[in-house]
Amino acid sequence: MGIPRSPRVPAMIAADAPVRQVSRSRRLMQQGSYLLEALIAILIVAIGVLGVVGLYVRSIQNVDDAKFRGEAALLVNTLVGQMWTSDTSFASLQAKFDSGIGGAGYTEFAAMVAQRMPNSVPPNVVVAAGSTLTSTDVLITVQWIHPGDNDPLLPAPLKYRQYQVNATIGSN
């Protein structure tokens, strides 16, 4: 027939039953904790990836901005070189390069700026008498709107990026 049971065995089973029910209910309460931890980990990684993507986009914008500033510097330095190689007298420089007069040198420079700089305005070239009789001071300003700065809420003066050079042509 089997092994006879002692009267204490049912009492042990009865005493052990609430412990099993408590541990089972704790397991049921903790069952979603791994899923919650995994979702939190995915959220943290997603925020990190978004941060890296944001840094990448900003770095591309900075590269583009540096490209346009470099282009403006090249154009302005080319104009200053043309001024140095032409007749360096005040009257001659003003007639050829001043934006108020619009001589041949200025017209060529403005066409180069319009061709190579996106969304640029006509450059401003001011030719003024220098500190000596044989020198001429020149102020050259190139302005453009960066392709990413087309925010319609910004007023026009805040949209423009600017490169400006002040040079002295002739001998001091």
pTM of the prediction? 0.67
Q: What is the pLDDT of residue 35?
A: 85
How many residues would you count in the chain?
Answer: 172
Alpha-helix runs per DSSP H in the chain: 8-30, 33-85, 90-97, 104-116, 156-159
Q: Identify whether the C-beta of residue 114 lies closer than 8 Å to the C-beta of residue 136.
A: no
Domains of the chain: which residue ranges? Answer: 31-170
Q: What is the pLDDT of residue 73?
A: 93
Residue 62 binned pLDDT confidence (cut-offs 50, 70, 90): confident
Per-residue pLDDT of 1-19, as tens digits, reads 556 555 555 555 555 555 5
Per-residue pLDDT of 75-124, as tens digits, reads 999 999 999 998 888 888 989 999 888 888 999 999 999 999 878 889 99
